[in-house]
Amino acid sequence: MLTLTLIVFVLVYLGLFLGGLPFVQLDRTGVALLGAIVLVATEITPMDQIWSAVHPPTLALLFAFMVISAQLRLSGFYDWVVWRLDRLGLPDWVLLGAVIWAAAVLSAIFSNDIVCLAMAPVLAETCRARRFNPVPFLLALACASNIGSAATLIGNPQNMLIGERLGLNFTDYLSLAAAPVGLGLGGTWAIALILGRWRWQQEAISVSAALPQQRQDDQPIALDRWQTFKGLGVTAGLLIAFFIAPWPRDLLALAGAGILLTSRRLHSQHMLGLVDWQLLVLFIGLFIVNHAFQQTGLPGQIVAALARCGFDLHNPGPLFVASAILSNLVSNVPAVMLLLPTASDPLSGPALALSSTLAGNLVIASSIANIIVIQAAARHGLIIAWSTHAQIGIPVTLSTLAIAGWWLGLIGPP
């Protein structure tokens, strides 16, 4: 059983690194699901242990905010934000900053992936209409959404997992993360300005000869004021409750999602159609695979061996570094699941949340938000190469990680 568990674990994480497995049509979600099926079918993880392995509060919180984000997307709110910024008539460098801060704020509250999915197509067309190069704006959108999502415990899936598993206080985490996230956004604006004006502005935008037909999802959505008010009202109520109410965040979020699903105008089929079921299945599969691996006792032995070599993952510093590296190898959610059992220090949770999220800007494959923006650009005839993304992604990642590491060291014990 030990041998089979190790084989499944290695193959699953190899699939996460490669984006799938050779010779079979499996993506990351399929690999994680298949691994979980093998473990359950062989009773390495018995059926009656699945409920304790998957951690339902995290799944509930993630699902609930997917529903809330779907409500605002269908109401046209995200499209309206970009349209409103455009109507201000701002110069290109000011508009760039406005896009960065708007994307960051929205991503701190809603899913950063949904924000990018909704805003990228509208932003591309807006830039074209004003004869701006869309590439710096789209890359700034991806970077800002990742950075902004690190500010709260609901900004992205890995932060939800960390917050729920470790029982982190919503207010305390926000107070700690606000400064490095704010400084990181300022640095991102500066980097995007410098590279966007002096490098990309002189390059021809790579545009396909014939623009692909836009998907239905990319079509602008007219603002529905009542549905927007309803979605924002529920969100505001949840945020207030997160700050002051003693009730679990997952139950509060589910209640909010239930209110939004009870609608006379937006059909639940449309809202649930925007839920990222693939991500939820990925979570379930990884929960089961990591639970089985933890049961072998090998993770504890590996952590102890690293500690004897001077790299103790129970300390926030080494955990911060390990998380940043591992997040770019297997993606941030699997990296967090693997490292979470070592988070015993009070600063370990924030260190894990900040590093795993900020590391997502390094290369295109480091974050789903990056991939969403690149794909949206391609549908609008803009081909953004890996090297082009790296021009902003690498300096943004290194600078934001340096800021976060410095901040955690500053507030930590001497």
pLDDT given at position 332 = 86
Closest CA to 55 of 338, 284, 258: 284
Angle between helices 2-18 and 316-330 (to 10 degrees): 70
Share of the chain above pLDDT 70, in %: 93
Closest CA to 164 of 60, 260, 274, 261: 60
Burial string for 94-127 (b: 16+ CB within 10 Å, else e) reads: ebbbbbbbbbbbbbbbbbbbbbbbbbbbbbbbbb
C-alpha torsion angle, residues 122, 97, 138, 84 (rounded to 10): 0
Q: What is the pLDDT of residues 308-363, one digit of tens each?
A: 998 999 999 999 999 999 998 888 888 999 999 999 999 999 999 999 999 999 98
Mean pLDDT of 105-114: 88
Q: What is the pLDDT of residues 186-209, one digit of tens each?
A: 999 999 888 765 444 444 344 444
Q: 216 pLDDT exceeds 60?
A: no
pLDDT given at position 211 = 44
- Copy the structure tokens of residue 168: 């982190």
pLDDT given at position 368 = 81
Residues 6+ apart with CB under 8 A from 207: 381, 382, 383
Length of the chain: 414
Q: Could you tell me if residue 76 is left (phi over 0), alpha (psi between -120 and 50 degrees) or otherwise beta?
A: left
Angle between helices 225-244 and 77-87 (to 10 degrees): 100
Residues 6+ apart with CB under 8 A from 89: none
> What is the rounded CA–CA span in Å between residue 118 and residue 114?
6
Closest CA to 123 of 165, 95, 101, 94: 95
- Residue 381 pLDDT grade (very low, low, confident, very high; cuts 50, 70, 90): confident
> What is the rounded CA–CA span in Å between residue 104 and residue 145?
5
Q: What are phi and psi of 207, to 5 degrees?
A: -120, 135
Q: Which amino acid is at 131?
A: R
Neighbours of 290 (CB within 10 A): 21
Helix, coil or strand: residue 302:
helix
> What is the rounded CA–CA span in Å between residue 30 and residue 366?
18
Q: On the CB side of 399, how many CA atoms lie within 13 Å of its CA?
A: 20
Total-model pTM: 0.87
407 versus 385: the higher-pLDDT residue is: 407
Q: Which amino acid is at 355?
A: S
Mean pLDDT of 106-124: 87
